[in-house]
Each structure stands twice: as C-alpha cells, then as structure tokens.
Amino acid sequence: SLVTPSSVLFCASAFILNPLPSAHHRTISIHHSSIDSINNDHSNNDSAAAQISRTLQDIEKDLLANPSKLQPILEQHDDDDREPTPNELAKETLLSTRLPNLPLNRTCTGPSTIEGAGRGLFAMEDIAKGELITCYPGDALLCDYSELEEEDFDEDDEEEEDFDDEEDIDFEDDDYCDEEADYIEEVVLWGEHVDATDRLEEDEVFDGIVDKDLPPLTSYAATVDDVYSVMGMPILDNNPAYYGHFANDGAGHIAIQTGVADAARRGIEEIISSYVSESVELSNARHKPIADGLHLGTFASKDIKKGEEVMVTYGPDYWMTFEG
Ligand SMILES: C[S@@+](CC[C@H](N)C(=O)[O-])C[C@H]1O[C@@H](n2cnc3c(N)ncnc32)[C@H](O)[C@@H]1O
C-alpha cells in the first residue's frame, strides 16, 4: 500500500495543528511519500514529462535573460507590499502558462462515476504507472508568501525578541496576532491566456458566487510547494493537455458525510486515517511538480485502463473545510 504510517501521521498532524484552516488553504495537497515512489519508478515511458521539463527550463532561462518578458506578471504585483525576485517572476510566469501543443491527448471529461461529484476525468487509452496523464493548469496562481516572510521576520526580529522561548509569547495577545497578520501576504495572479472577462474578483476566488452557484476557485486549487498553488478554471475545458483540475477524489464523500460533526464519537484521527486509506486505495494518480515546480502534472500512480476514471487524493484539509 502507498499509505505509510508517516503519511497518515503527517496528514493527521497537519489537521490537528491547524484545525480550522482558512478557505485560503483549501487546496488539493500532494502526498510527498507517494511522490518518491513515482520518482523511483523508472518507467521508460516518461518522455512527455521529460520533454515538458526541458521546454520549461529553456523558457525559464529565456525569461531570466530577457527581463522585459517578466513585465506582465510583475504588473500584477503592483499593489503588493513585497518586491518579487526575477526567479519568482519567471516561476510564476511558467506556472500560470498553458504551453501550446503538448503531446498529451490521453483523457476526456465526462460525468463522474462518483455520485454528486459533477464531471470527472477519464483515460482514453491505457496508461502505465509513472506516466504523465495530463497537466494541472495554473489559470490562476495562489501565492502565499508568508512562509518566506516568516523567515525574514524571524531573522529581523531575532535580536529584539527571543522567539525561540515560547514562554515569552502570549498567543492570545491581540498585538502578537496583529503583528503576525501584518506580514502574511496572499496574492492571486492570472495567466495571460485567461480572458479579462473570465477573471474573478478576489472575493469570488475565495468564496465563489452564491447566486450563480459558482464554487470558490480555491476548490480547484492544487499545491505545488509551500508558496504556490495552481487553480484551474472549470470553464476552460477544451484542452486535454490541461485537464488535471477535473480529477476527483474517490473517497471525498466519506469525509463529507461523517465530517467534523462525527468527530466526538469516532475521533478526528480515525476519520482522517480512514479517509486517507480509502482515498489512496481508490486513487490511481497523483499531482506532482514538473521541472522543480515550474508546472504541475498528473501522473499515474497505478496502471490505468482505457475508460477508467482518473482519481487523486485531495488530502484531509480539503474535505474538512469543504462547504459544497
Ligand atoms: C478539482 S474539482 C474536480 C472536478 C469537478 N468534479 C468538476 O465537475 O468540475 C473538485 C470538486 O469536485 C467535486 N468532488 C471531487 N471528488 C468528490 C467526491 N468524492 N464526492 C463529491 N464531490 C467530489 C467537489 O465539488 C470538489 O470541490
């Protein structure tokens, strides 16, 4: 099984440490222990992933050598407090780009086999374990610079206050919370390919549009790393090379049905660990960074037969805060 005690513990501790994650963090998470098993799987059929990696790295070099090409993404940072570095801008440009003509015509969308899950992603041919199935589009990027800022913050303040000594900190103290809130910065950036008329207001990204029954765009977010999550737009649905955002989670309903309301009886750890076991058992794919995080791909974690629904594990944080 791909579920190791440490992966369950990781998921459990992530939830316990952050029992009320904000809507901003409702992203599909990546299970790192499983990623290793894909990396170590020397399938000789990874040419599409390798090709895309090389293309991305070439474009990254070109962007860094021609800073004017970073201008469109830099302009979107106009209102930010912090100045992004050229490397960050190049990465953001690539994460929010849909590369043209990718050799990935392996999937289609259709009604999910999971009741109430809407559309799902289906294999149009047999796909071997380890192969790239499709990419996850970064139509919009969610950038959370707080991790980076925290490092700066800790360094800056080390001499003034001893943050290592937890007894000195009163976590209930309003000033402490305000001080922390000040340097947390979340930014939404749009890919150039997304029409101005399709771009959502920031509150619509996080809350959806209730009248139009439009879910938050964050429910289509998948984690790339500590800073970036990519959000695919469900209306951009005609490119099989970028269909990763249509993969459902086979066991999501378990967490929805039992949910936090049942926590007193079963215990939150048990709910989380049974969800993770079932979801991983039912899943046949994983979202995984390509080219050191310049893109996100959806890779087969098991052999997939033509016609099968492609499913991934979103992680407990996603479902524990799900309001659909
Ligand atoms: C990343 S999108 C997947 C594509 C989506 N099904 C669609 O029709 O566009 C995530 C959303 O799919 C739905 N979903 C995924 N797995 C599900 C499950 N097991 N049960 C119910 N809904 C699910 C939820 O609405 C979730 O917020």
ipTM, two decimals, is: 1.00
Q: Residue 51: how many CA atoms within 13 Å on its side-chain side?
A: 12
Residue ranges making up the domain that contains 171 = 146-184
Same domain, 174 and 254: no
Which of 184, 213, 245 is the C-terminal boundary of a domain?
Answer: 184
* Structure tokens belonging to residue 245: 């955002």
Q: What is the pLDDT of residue 269?
A: 82
Task: With beta carbons less than 8 A apart as the criterion, state whether 158 and 104 touch.
Answer: no
Q: Are residues 79 and 115 in the same domain?
A: yes
CATH number for the domain that contains residue 203:
2.170.270.10
Q: Which of 184, 214, 243 is the last residue of a domain?
A: 184
Q: Which amino acid is it at 9?
A: L
Distance of CA 311 from the midpoint of ligand 1 (Å): 10
Say whether both 176 and 216 belong to one domain: no
pLDDT per residue of the chain (324 residues) written in tens, 0 to 9: 233 333 333 333 333 222 233 444 456 665 433 333 334 343 444 478 999 999 999 999 999 999 999 999 999 998 888 889 999 999 999 999 999 989 899 999 999 999 999 999 999 999 999 999 999 999 999 999 887 765 554 554 444 444 444 444 444 444 444 444 444 568 999 999 999 999 999 999 999 988 888 899 999 999 999 999 999 999 999 999 999 999 999 998 766 666 566 667 777 788 888 889 999 999 999 999 999 999 999 999 999 999 999 999 999 889 877 776
Both tokens of 320, joined, read 């524990």
Nearest CA to ligand 1 atom 15: 248
Both 139 and 212 in a single domain? Answer: yes
Separation between Cα atoms, residue 122 and residue 130, nearest integer Å: 17
* Number of domains the chain contains: 2
Share of the chain above pLDDT 90, in %: 57
Ligand 1 atom closest to the CA of 318, numbered from 1: 27
User: Are residues 193 and 180 part of one domain?
Assistant: no
Which residue among 29, 107, 112 is best mutated to probe the pocket of ligand 1, counting the most ligand atoms within 8 A of its Cβ?
A: 112
Q: Which residues of 72-111 are buried (b: 16+ CB within 10 A; e: fewer)?
A: ebbebbeeeeeebeeebbbbbbbbbbbeeebebebbebee
Asked if residue 228 and residue 88 are part of one domain, the reply reads yes
pLDDT at 212: 84
The Cα–Cα gap between 147 and 186 comes to: 11
User: For residue 122, which amino acid is it?
Assistant: F
pLDDT at 315: 92
- Same domain, yes or no: 168 and 214: no
Mutation choice for ligand 1 from 249, 254, 322, CB with most ligand atoms inside 8 A: 249
* CA 44 – CA 269 distance, rounded (Å): 39
Contacts (Cβ under 8 Å, ≥6 apart) of 229: 27, 141, 142, 144, 221, 222, 223
Clarify whether residues 125 and 236 are in a common domain.
yes
pLDDT at residue 250, rounded to an integer? 94
CA distances from 258 to 168, 263, 265, 282 (A): 39, 8, 10, 18
173 & 63 share domain: no
Cα 150 to ligand 1 centre (Å): 33
State the pLDDT at residue 255: 65
Q: What is the pLDDT of residue 135?
A: 98
275 and 216 in a common domain:
yes
CA nearest ligand 1 atom 18, residue: 252
> Ligand 1, from 217, 223, 248: best to mutate by most atoms within 8 Å of Cβ?
248
Q: What is the pLDDT of residue 218?
A: 95
Same domain as 305, residue 172: no
Left (φ > 0), alpha (ψ -120 to 50) or beta: where does 259 sit? left
* pLDDT (0 to 100) of residue 174: 46
The finding on whether 111 has its CB within 6 A of some atom of ligand 1 is no
- Tell me if 100 CB under 6 Å of ligand 1: no
Whether 204 and 253 map to the same domain: the answer is yes
